[in-house]
Amino acid sequence: MGVFAGGLSGQVVVKPSIKSKTHPSLHIDSIYTGNETIVYLHIVNENTEGKAWFCADKNIDLVDVETNQKYPLRKQAGIPVCPEAHAFRQYGEILYFQLYFPSLDPKVLEIDIIERCSDHCFSLKGIVLNQKLNEEIRSFEKGVELFTAGKYQDAMIIFKDLAENSGFKSTSHFAYATYILPVIYHQLKEEDKAKETYQKLVRSTIREKAYFLRKIHEIPFFNELRYQ
């Protein structure tokens, strides 16, 4: 998604996927990457005991995961600099703020944001900057939700699309889609398609292929196929 401001153009990633974070109630709303990098965040007060507060240290790094290059924080807005802090007045209160970093190389696909402080430091790791990859991850998460709920037909549609059309074949979600598709067909009693997609799994070069083969061979139907 393109955005234009002050005559300068850049890209905005909305609600990027995050692999892990220290504070569950801390969220990234969007990230602007252009002549500078602006991270728009909010934190929700979910504390029910005592006084709750939040601040951001001046020492915060944005890190390119692939190269480990660090981009130091330039400024922050909407949030006090530690040791000063925002005191929440009530449960559920939301604090919106922004962190400003130098511009990134357009090739940077994944970043970490790490606060370097003495106590209660926050970090957000594995933040995906590629909008297409974010869309695939959200689709994958929906597929997992449907599969877990036993809605195999709906889950199959999502995982089939990922297995056939993913633009990120080195990712873990593509590997899982390749593995789970024959399992779903088996659940739906479509044995010919289960066999066909199982053979694609066997011939694939997915991440952790040996692990997924061990897992699928725990199902007697597929364990018998390995000896045919």
pLDDT tens digits for 101-136?
999 988 898 999 999 987 789 999 999 998 899 999
pLDDT tens digits for 55-92?
999 999 999 998 999 999 999 999 999 999 999 999 99
51 with 107, same domain: the answer is yes
Q: Which residues form the domain of 36? A: 2-129
**Kindly report the CA angle at 96 between 74 and 77, in degrees rounded to 5?**
25
3-state secondary structure of 109: coil
Amino acid (1-letter code) at residue 10 = G
31 with 118, same domain: the answer is yes
11 with 100, same domain: the answer is yes
Quote the longest CA-to-CA distance of the chain: 68
Give the domain-ending residue among 73, 99, 129.
129
Closest CA to 24 of 46, 57, 2, 40: 46
171 with 201, same domain: the answer is yes
> What are the φ and ψ backbone dihedral angles of 179, each rounded to 5 degrees?
-75, -45
Give the domain-ending residue among 79, 109, 129.
129
Q: Domain with 35 in it: what CATH number?
A: 2.60.40
pTM: predicted TM-score of the whole model, two decimal places? 0.76
151 with 206, same domain: the answer is yes
74 with 182, same domain: the answer is no
52 with 152, same domain: the answer is no
Domains: count for the chain: 2
